[in-house]
Amino acid sequence: MTLLNVLTVPDPRLRIKAKPISVVDDKIRTLFDDMIETMYAEDGAGLAAPQVGIDMRLVVIDVSDSAHGSTVFKMANPEITWRSNEMSICNEGCLSVPELRAEVSRPKAIKMHYLDENGTLQHIESDDILATCIQHELDHLDGKLYIDYLSSLKRQMFINKVKRMKKYED
């Protein structure tokens, strides 16, 4: 397996609308594994392909806890088909906006479907942390980041902090 380089804001590759994949093959399965290894190495709960510079609609999610067990989701071409009117607020973070967090309001419950690592269509209904995580990761596939839900002032402040952080690292 290979560790992938996670892009951070304001990298323009985080703003692409990623393309659907045509078939889940060995190449995609390897990519899923690399994304999962990268997610764990960076201590994240989810990772979308555009975050590692890959223009494909692929997402991995691990919200392992007592309610969800130790399921790791590998999702190709995921799509949300229903969102509740009821909202919930969650304190979100993102590997592309490292070391910062902010509260974001999103629909509390969703229904969605995706192709799993075998190319089988799977359906999920969730009204908890998994729903939040799915919405956050699927936003990445459309070039959207959680900081887009914040005020423009706060968003710019976050981007500037990440830029400064990266400068010290280089």
Q: Which residues bind Zn ion (CB under 5 A)?
A: 94
Q: Are 100 and 9 in contact (CB under 8 A)?
A: no
Contact in structure between 68 and 84 (CB atoms under 8 Å): no
Task: Decide if 170 contacts 12 (C-beta within 8 A).
Answer: no
137 is catalytic: yes
CB of 95 to Zn ion, least distance (A): 6
Q: How far is the CB of 145 from Zn ion (least distance, A)?
A: 7
Indicate the residue among 25 and 148 with the shorter CB distance to Zn ion. 148
Residue whose CB is less far from Zn ion, 4 or 120: 4
How is 21-75 classified by DSSP, letter by letter? PS---HHHHHHHHHHHHHHHHTT-SEEEGGGGT--B-EEEE---BTTTBT--EEE
Minimal distance in Å, beta carbon 120 to Zn ion? Answer: 26
Residue of 42, 92, 137, 169 marked catalytic: 137
With respect to Zn ion, which residue has the nearer C-beta, 76 or 141? Answer: 141
Residue with smallest beta-carbon separation from Zn ion = 94
- The HSE-up count of residue 146 (CA atoms within 13 Å, CB side) is 25
What stretch of H or E contains 115? strand 110-115
Taking the least distance from each CB to Zn ion, the nearer of 17 and 27 is 17
- Min CB(104)–Zn ion separation in Å: 11
Instruction: Give me the active site residues, please.
Output: 137
